[in-house]
């Protein structure tokens, strides 16, 4: 979700420290940053990776700070619309992110690592909840996927594809996120069961 919705072939442009860049140009630069962040992540002992509000902000800064120093690494300061979703008001974001991180840590402690549906339910909740809060001005999808990659690593699971580009799978994923907004995480859990099953 976030900036991911409908961005393939987007004509959006961004004002960056390097001047005006198109969405594909920004995506290319962010892909390099994201690859570097993931490489560093995989060199970190899993038990040292703790997803906190500070961790999320630091990763967002590492991802986009070279292009958007004014707001990268900081929670959004305006209300936004993401497709048909109106995320929580900006002033609620700090508290919601703290709550998200606390809930994540507690849920992670109780995940049955031998139970695929249980793992999928946990990852589906993380996937949906982070995107629902939509804490940053932009690039929430990338940070959400980074958090999921960190959790897969902590759970000693292989990486999975979390950004479907095939139109039908992308539509299914976005519809599953919308179902989560309505209180039903079953469709997203099924997607995660399939993702994990294909990766293991």
145 is in an annotated binding site: yes
The predicted model scores a pTM of 0.92
Residue from 60, 66, 110, 134 carrying the catalytic annotation? 134
**How many CA atoms within 13 Å lie on the side-chain side of 191?**
26
Number of structural domains in the chain = 1
Catalytic, 66? Answer no
For helices 116-133 and 167-181, the axis angle rounded to 10 degrees is: 80
138 is in an annotated binding site: yes
Per-residue pLDDT of the chain (200 residues; tens, 9 = 90+): 344 444 444 567 899 999 999 999 999 999 999 999 999 999 999 999 999 999 999 999 999 999 999 999 999 999 999 888 899 999 999 999 999 999 999 999 999 999 999 999 999 999 999 999 999 999 999 999 999 999 999 999 999 989 888 999 999 999 999 999 999 999 999 999 999 999 88
144 is in an annotated binding site: yes
Query: Whole domain around residue 80: which residue ranges?
Result: 2-199
Here the CATH number for the domain that contains residue 98 is: 1.10.3290.10
143 is in an annotated binding site: yes
- Residue 76: phi and psi, rounded to 5, are -65, 150
**Distance (Å, rounded) from C-alpha 17 to C-alpha 151?**
32
Q: Which of 194, 25, 29 is nearest to 120 (CA)?
A: 194
118's tokens: 């249980």
């Amino acid at each position: 979700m976030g900036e991911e919705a409908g961005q393939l072939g987007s004509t959006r442009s961004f004002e960056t420290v390097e001047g005006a860049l198109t969405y594909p140009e920004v995506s290319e630069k962010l892909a390099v940053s994201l690859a570097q962040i993931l490489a560093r992540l995989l060199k970190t002992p899993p038990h040292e990776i703790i997803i906190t509000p500070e961790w999320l902000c630091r990763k967002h800064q590492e991802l986009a700070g070279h292009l958007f120093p004014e707001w990268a690494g900081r929670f959004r300061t305006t209300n936004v619309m993401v497709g048909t979703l109106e995320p929580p008001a900006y002033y609620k974001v700090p508290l919601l992110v703290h709550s998200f991180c606390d809930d994540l840590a507690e849920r992670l402690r109780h995940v049955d690592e031998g139970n695929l549906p249980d793992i999928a339910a946990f990852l589906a909740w993380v996937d949906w909840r982070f995107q629902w809060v939509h804490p940053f001005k932009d690039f929430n999808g990338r940070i959400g996927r980074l958090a999921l990659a960190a959790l897969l690593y902590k759970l000693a699971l292989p990486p999975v594809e979390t950004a479907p580009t095939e139109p039908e799978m992308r539509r299914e994923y976005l519809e599953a996120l919308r179902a989560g907004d309505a209180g039903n995480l079953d469709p997203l859990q099924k997607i995660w069961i399939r993702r994990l099953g294909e990766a293991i």
